[in-house]
Chain A
Amino acid sequence: MAKIKNLKELMIPITDYPHMPYWATLEEAVVLLNFSYETAHDTILVFDESYGLIGVLDQKEMLRDIHPGFSKLSTKKVSDEWEKLISTHNLDQLKKPIKDFITPFNIIVDIEDHVLTAAHLMLKHNIDLLPVKESENVAGAVKMRDIFHEIAAFILRF
């Protein structure tokens, strides 16, 4: 029976994530995630000037930011014409800095904390990615899918 992993083992080191400064444009973010396709990364970590982690930008958020039709608030059926995706408005959106679109990180978990603590925080704040600190540095982040996998493995043992 496989050993249950702790948070340290589940965490992906920060250096393995795509990341960007907050002044990068949405277009740059699209480019970065697109180039990261094969790594299965679906989020970008966003930092401030002094390399402090300030937020995250994920695929869903990016699509909503580019195209108003994808907005949670939009009630209209989205057009099925591809060309609509590259309207002037949408292209202008791409030039905007990502600081306008990021989801801020307000919580952080310590590397010594329990996996279930992390799970609890993520569910409580409805997030898929949780930063992990080690001493006074951000060491990495855990993904909901990895936490789920550990929880599932434990449940299914019985």
Chain B
Amino acid sequence: MGQMRSLLSIFKKIKFKKADIPKASPPDGTPFKERYDCFQKLLADNNSILETMADMEEKLSGDYMFDMHYVDSKCNILIEKVQSVIENLDSLSNGEYSGLYDAFEKINAAIKNFLAKNIEIPVTEFTMPFEDVTKDMVRSVGGKNANLGEIKSRLNLPVPEGFCISAHAFKRFMDYNELGDKISIASLDPVSMVELTRVSKEAQNLVLNARVPPDLEKSISDAASELERKAGHRTGEFYASVRSSAIHEDAQFTFAGQYKTILNVAPEDVVSAYVEIIASLFTTRAIFYCKSKGFQEEDMVMAVGVVEMIDAKASGVMYSRDPTDEKKHGIIINGVWGLGKYAVDGIVEPHTYVVSRDIPGTILEKNQPVQQDMLICRLDAGVIDTRVPDYIRRMPCLTEEQVITLAGYALVLEKHYGKPQDIEWALDLNDNLLILQARPLRIVAEKRSRPVPRSLHGHKILIDKGQIACKGVGAGKVCFVTNDEELKSFPEGAVLVAKHTSPKFVTVMNKTSAIIADVGSPTGHMASLAREYRVPTILNAEIAMKTLKPGQEITVDAINGSIYDGRIEQLVEAGKTENPFKDTPVFEALRGVLKSIVPLNLLYPEDKEQFSPKYCETFHDITRFAHEVAMNEMFKIGEGAHRKGEAVKLHVQLPLDIRVIDLGGGVENGSGKITVDKIACIPMKALLKGMMALEWPGPPPVNVKGLLSVIAGSTMHPNPEKAFSEPSFAVVSREYMNFSIRLGYHLQTLEAYAGDSINDNYIRFLFRGGGASHDRRARRTQLIKKILEKIDFYVDTTGDVLDGRVTKYDRITIEKKLDIMAKLTVFTKQLDMTLFSDDVVNWYAKEFINKHYVE
């Protein structure tokens, strides 16, 4: 900014030199053309600022998807344009409003501050054991690792052995391979699936083909050996689970299932698994999630956790509260035989236990469906899907005692973190319960004012079973999703119907009005995402794929758990909730920066004290101020016109001596004299047309010569002869006109802009003087005021001075108003002398309106 200032002062110096050159120009030194160009640029910038602001505000409605890049780029446009507006005003006014630079600097700093949340990656060891990690180290090791470290080091709850590969290590990996420069997602449009897929593929390939720097590789291998030593004694054989722990993961945002977890990894494969996890930072759905949640490229930092693999007998997810209803006093525990992936991914229907929060050791509900398939660790690394052995297939995966122990852990965790928790657990082969992960539980707040009716007469219920994963009501056409490919062409507003749930559904969560899956549980990743995006979701519906037909219009009541045939507006209305997107950081960022952009504090130009640069608090204030002041500056253009040598006489059938100064495009090319048909200036044409359509006063009666003059009370023109010989000057371009008309004893300046943009258009009318006594001149001012107000002008009068303006009408309306102004000009010519009383004023106002004003 300082630099810009100094540049500007050089610019001013250059200008000053220009003004020294003896050249026909107004007294303030800047040639008309140059000033007009500044004015034009200012108008154009003003428009694009207003359009940009409108676009940003529209996004606040929540009906649109946008990413952080959108907010950034729009802010940059505004910053650039507002700066340009100030510079042009500066040139136009010869630096009269330099206070705007200070206002701009302040606002700009506020916006930049708000947007600047670049993550500084702390310099740490490449690897750190969990016992050395606490929850405060999120930025070093990611949310998931930090939590696990916290639980191990501070809560002493059973957690598997493990270590973290830090964010610093990630930076080392990226820098070593120069991946930061090669991968760019900043300008990516997250709505374009094709683009998203392409960028994602490229990025993943780059990562997978990159080399792990030798120092990092050594650090990981050493830590893996140490882990093997510590854990090996317990299990005999050692395998690890390698898991993502992105910097924002598990903090405010779940990122549930967006990144990779590799199970049952042999110690020697930990390094290559690490690279795979890094690559998962750039999957299509992860990039989409990141961008749609308002994270920036710099925020995409991945730490990794390497955890002793628990060859789980059973595992699952536990919520310290019911995520769909916080008021319910139950701890929900879901479990499956084998590895927990099937529980979180909703592959099988899990066993469910609800444990009382109030009466310790009381199991309120139990649901233990028969489990056919399970996921287990293979002996030679990797995992495998297998049949649940017959002897346990019908048995609960947890004993009551284990259920109660787990519920106890949930309460400890909730108490420690101060908020409801979403916990992953496992039961190892030795019946030890272990906490694998804990993160804040997302609870859907209920904000409905009207209850949604339980069932509706006259509407057919198609499905009445399933579990609600996210409350709400959505309606739309059924769209079956049987593979990822189908997500790419998912239609806007449709209801996603699938056999299984998948976190990949996140890529269409901005489009889908509801989700139904035959299998899946409210404790799965997808359910968590659905809640985050607040998509009404019913899972475990069992018969949706069979009952519903593609394209069929349905209403999903995920409040009562019913799916209706057809669209039922009554339900949709009743189920309306706050927009999910409105809680995301990108939305917050937009809302935040708009506070420095949109509110308008400078409301009243007539309040000279308040309407000044020092009261400009937003970009809107600055542009409003600059636009207003620029019009004033341009208005002055006519004042110097008579001193200008370039004026050319206009040949017109009017009792006026008009001289025209063309700023460009105001007069048609061609040699010879300027006649009315050569005038190309839109406002001037309209005005002349109106003036010529009226009958002007004829010559005075023959043989009557005025006996002396009176000019009662007027000091305007002590020499009447001179008053009538002065020409009127019109400074014109194609859209612009500044016309100072001298008519007898009064002077009026009519300025107008009539272009294609409504924002630019205006008419300004300044009228002062007259030959009659002051009271009659003041009455004429009042008469003009009455008429102008009738045609929507804002008018300010002081004595016999009138300043009227009308802004923001389309070109045609401006032309129509100018036609009326032309008639007004003729009508009021020396009318002051007639205005003997206020009654006469009223009569004339009525007369004019009746004759010349058509609504």
With contacts A36-B836, A36-B837, A136-B708 known, is A54 near B700, CB below 8 A? yes
Interface residues on B, range: 35 or more
Cβ of B757 < 8 Å from any Cβ of A? Answer: no
Contact A35 B773 (CB under 8 A): no
Residue of A nearest to B696 (CB): A23
Contact A54 B706 (CB under 8 A): yes
- Measured between beta carbons, the chain B residues less than 8 angstroms from A80 are none
Cβ of B461 < 8 Å from any Cβ of A? Answer: no
With contacts A51-B720, A54-B705 known, is A35 near B840, CB below 8 A? yes
- Measured between beta carbons, the chain A residues less than 8 angstroms from B701 are 22, 54-55, 99-100, 102, 104
Residue of A nearest to B829 (CB): A21
Q: Which of B705, B724, B744, B839 contacts A35 (CB 8 A)?
A: B839
Cβ of B11 < 8 Å from any Cβ of A? Answer: no
Q: Which of A28, A36, A50 contacts B706 (CB 8 A)?
A: A50
Interface centre among A21, A22, A23, A50 (most CB of B within 10 A): A50
Q: Mark A120-145, 1 if CB is under 8 A from B, else 0.
A: 00000000000101001110000000
CA distance A23 to B579 in the complex (A): 69
Q: Mark A11-30, 1 if CB is under 8 A from B, else 0.
A: 00011001111111000100
Contact A49 B724 (CB under 8 A): yes
Cβ of B21 < 8 Å from any Cβ of A? Answer: no
CA distance A136 to B704 in the complex (A): 18
Cβ of B693 < 8 Å from any Cβ of A? Answer: no
Q: How far is the CB of B711 from chain A (nearest CB, A)?
A: 5
Residue of A nearest to B771 (CB): A51
Cβ of A47 < 8 Å from any Cβ of B? Answer: yes
A-B contacts, CB under 8 A, total = 114
Q: Which of A31, A47, A100 contacts B710 (CB 8 A)?
A: A47
Q: How far is the CB of B756 from chain A (nearest CB, A)?
A: 40
Residue of B nearest to A140 (CB): B710
Cβ of B214 < 8 Å from any Cβ of A? Answer: no
CA distance A105 to B705 in the complex (A): 9
Contact A51 B745 (CB under 8 A): yes
Residues 27-55 of A contacting B (Cβ, < 8 Å): 28, 31-32, 35-36, 47-55
CA distance A26 to B843 in the complex (A): 14
Contact B711 A51 (CB under 8 A): yes
Q: How far is the CB of B853 from chain A (nearest CB, A)?
A: 19
Q: How far is the CB of B798 from chain A (nearest CB, A)?
A: 21
Q: How far is the CB of A100 from chain B (nearest CB, A)?
A: 7
- Measured between beta carbons, the chain A residues less than 8 angstroms from B720 are 50-51
With contacts A52-B705, A54-B700 known, is A14 near B710, CB below 8 A? yes
Cβ of A97 < 8 Å from any Cβ of B? Answer: yes
Contact A53 B712 (CB under 8 A): no
Cβ of A91 < 8 Å from any Cβ of B? Answer: no
Q: How far is the CB of B419 from chain A (nearest CB, A)?
A: 81
Q: How far is the CB of B708 from chain A (nearest CB, A)?
A: 5
- Measured between beta carbons, the chain A residues less than 8 angstroms from B698 are 23, 97, 99
Contact B744 A15 (CB under 8 A): no
CA distance A105 to B775 in the complex (A): 26
Contact A137 B709 (CB under 8 A): yes
- Measured between beta carbons, the chain B residues less than 8 angstroms from A35 are 836-837, 839-840, 843
Residue of A nearest to B743 (CB): A49
Contact B707 A21 (CB under 8 A): no
- Measured between beta carbons, the chain A residues less than 8 angstroms from B707 are 52-54, 105, 108, 131, 133, 138
Q: How far is the CB of A112 from chain B (nearest CB, A)?
A: 15
Cβ of B697 < 8 Å from any Cβ of A? Answer: yes
Cβ of B688 < 8 Å from any Cβ of A? Answer: no
Contact B705 A15 (CB under 8 A): no
- Measured between beta carbons, the chain A residues less than 8 angstroms from B706 are 47-48, 50-54
Residue of B nearest to A38 (CB): B837
- Measured between beta carbons, the chain A residues less than 8 angstroms from B775 are 15
Q: Mark B740-773, 1 if CB is under 8 A from A, else 0.
A: 0000110000000000000000000000000111
Q: Which of A32, A52, A55 contacts B708 (CB 8 A)?
A: A52
Q: Which of A32, A52, A133 contacts B834 (CB 8 A)?
A: A32
Residues 686-726 of B contacting A (Cβ, < 8 Å): 697-698, 700-701, 703-713, 720-721, 723-724
- Measured between beta carbons, the chain B residues less than 8 angstroms from A105 are 707
- Measured between beta carbons, the chain B residues less than 8 angstroms from A51 are 706, 709-712, 720, 745, 771-772, 833
Contact A137 B700 (CB under 8 A): no
Cβ of B48 < 8 Å from any Cβ of A? Answer: no
Cβ of B830 < 8 Å from any Cβ of A? Answer: yes
CA distance A102 to B772 in the complex (A): 20
With contacts A14-B712, A23-B698, A97-B698 known, is A47 near B705, CB below 8 A? no
CA distance A47 to B829 in the complex (A): 13
- Measured between beta carbons, the chain B residues less than 8 angstroms from A47 are 706, 710, 833
Contact B837 A137 (CB under 8 A): no
Q: How far is the CB of B723 from chain A (nearest CB, A)?
A: 7
Contact B700 A22 (CB under 8 A): yes
CA distance A53 to B833 in the complex (A): 12
Residue of B nearest to A49 (CB): B744
- Measured between beta carbons, the chain B residues less than 8 angstroms from A15 are 712-713, 772-773, 775-776
Residue of B nearest to A102 (CB): B701
CA distance A138 to B698 in the complex (A): 24
CA distance A40 to B707 in the complex (A): 25
CA distance A131 to B709 in the complex (A): 12
Contact B833 A50 (CB under 8 A): no
Residue of A nearest to B695 (CB): A23
- Measured between beta carbons, the chain B residues less than 8 angstroms from A28 are 834
CA distance A31 to B831 in the complex (A): 14
CA distance A23 to B699 in the complex (A): 8
CA distance A52 to B721 in the complex (A): 12
Q: Mark B570-588, 1 if CB is under 8 A from A, else 0.
A: 0000000000000000000
Q: Which of B708, B776, B834, B837 contacts A24 (CB 8 A)?
A: B834
Contact B704 A19 (CB under 8 A): no
CA distance A55 to B830 in the complex (A): 17
Interface centre among B706, B709, B833 (most CB of A within 10 A): B706
Residue of A nearest to B745 (CB): A51
Contact B709 A52 (CB under 8 A): yes
CA distance A4 to B842 in the complex (A): 41
With contacts A15-B773, A131-B707, A138-B710 known, is A20 near B724, CB below 8 A? no
Q: Which of B697, B703, B843 contacts A23 (CB 8 A)?
A: B697
CA distance A28 to B846 in the complex (A): 13
CA distance A68 to B764 in the complex (A): 47
- Measured between beta carbons, the chain A residues less than 8 angstroms from B772 are 15, 51
CA distance A54 to B703 in the complex (A): 10
CA distance A53 to B530 in the complex (A): 89
- Measured between beta carbons, the chain A residues less than 8 angstroms from B840 are 31-32, 35
- Measured between beta carbons, the chain B residues less than 8 angstroms from A52 are 705-710
Q: Which of B724, B776, B843 contacts A31 (CB 8 A)?
A: B843
CA distance A22 to B834 in the complex (A): 11
Q: How far is the CB of A24 from chain B (nearest CB, A)?
A: 6
Could you give 23 example pairs across A and B, Cβ below 8 Å? A14-B712, A19-B834, A22-B700, A31-B843, A35-B836, A35-B840, A47-B833, A49-B744, A50-B723, A50-B724, A51-B711, A51-B772, A51-B833, A52-B705, A52-B706, A54-B704, A54-B705, A54-B706, A99-B700, A102-B701, A104-B704, A108-B707, A138-B710
The 6 A-B pairs of least Cβ separation, nearest first, read: A52-B706, A23-B697, A50-B720, A99-B701, A15-B773, A48-B706
Given contacts A49-B744, A138-B707, 17 further A-B contacts (CB under 8 A): A19-B834, A21-B697, A21-B834, A23-B697, A47-B706, A47-B833, A50-B706, A51-B712, A52-B707, A53-B707, A53-B710, A54-B707, A97-B697, A105-B707, A133-B708, A137-B708, A138-B708
